[in-house]
Amino acid sequence: MRLILFGAPGVGKGTQAKILASRLNIPHISTGDILREAVKEKTPLGIKAFEIMSRGELVSDDIMIGIIHDALNQTRCKDGFILDGFPRTLPQAKEIEKLFTELKLENIFYVNLTANSDEIIRRLTNRRACKVCQSIFTLSEIQDKEKCPVCNSACSFYQRDDDKEEVIRNRMEIFNTTTQPVLDYYERRGNLVTVDGLGAIDDITASILTSIEAKLE
């Protein structure tokens, strides 16, 4: 099975990606992770990406498509994959479709996790990070704790800039402006699955799988 995941910041996309990858026994491919890996491994595209990033510029779509091509060509992806972080814009969506055609990949499902904006803001502003290991927790998880549950360091927890309300609202505005045309594009093509991202985690996973199965019928 091949899934492309979409969702605004804080909707639980990363959580669902990990669960689905384990449940379906397919790799979760984060475009951020494979970009960093390509740079670390000094692949030809990774070297180009590093040169661009070192100038403070964004990596071009053609380089990202090339890095995704290399990742999807790996043996671990032969039975499927879960991709997130790409595409974010309509031109990227059209380019990645060309890549899927080139690789002869079919039965690709685009999954959009949604949530009320106020709930997303509540979720993210409720998060805190460990100053030592940077692990993220909800306030309820660290209430009355004097040590980090992950690294066991005696430290204070802090709110990341990304989890402050004004930053969250800006990120959501960018997501809605750039990604909504992509979702509309896939909706018109009939291969978009939209699932409510609020509720119990297991229930959301079940809804995603049920919705995909319905598309297969």
Residues recognised as catalytic: 13, 88, 127, 160, 171
Which run of H or E residues covers position 180?
helix 165-189
Query: Is residue 45 in a domain?
Result: no
Query: Is residue 66 in a domain?
Result: no
Which has the closest alpha carbon to 108: 85, 66, 88, 80? 80
Task: Name the residue with higher pLDDT: 6 or 191.
Answer: 6
Pairwise CA distance, residues 184 & 206, whole Å: 24
Query: Is residue 72 in a domain?
Result: no
**pLDDT of the residue at 192:** 92
**pLDDT of the residue at 129:** 93
For the cut 90, the answer to whether the pLDDT of residue 57 exceeds it is: no
Query: Is residue 191 in a domain?
Result: yes
**pLDDT of the residue at 104:** 93
> What is the total count of domains within the chain?
1
Pairwise CA distance, residues 76 & 74, whole Å: 5
Which CATH number is 169's domain given?
Answer: 3.40.50.300
Query: Is residue 104 in a domain?
Result: yes
**What pTM was estimated for this model as a whole?**
0.81
Q: Residue 129: helix, strand or coil by DSSP? A: strand
Mean pLDDT of 70-96: 92
**pLDDT of the residue at 162:** 86
For the cut 80, the answer to whether the pLDDT of residue 217 exceeds it is: no
Enumerate the β-bridge partners of residue 34: none
Pairwise CA distance, residues 123 & 171, whole Å: 14
Look over the chain and give the mean of its residue pLDDT values, rounded to a whole number: 91
**pLDDT tens digits, residue range 92-138?**
999 999 999 999 998 899 999 998 889 889 989 999 999 999 899 99
pLDDT band with cut points at 50, 70 and 90 for residue 87: very high
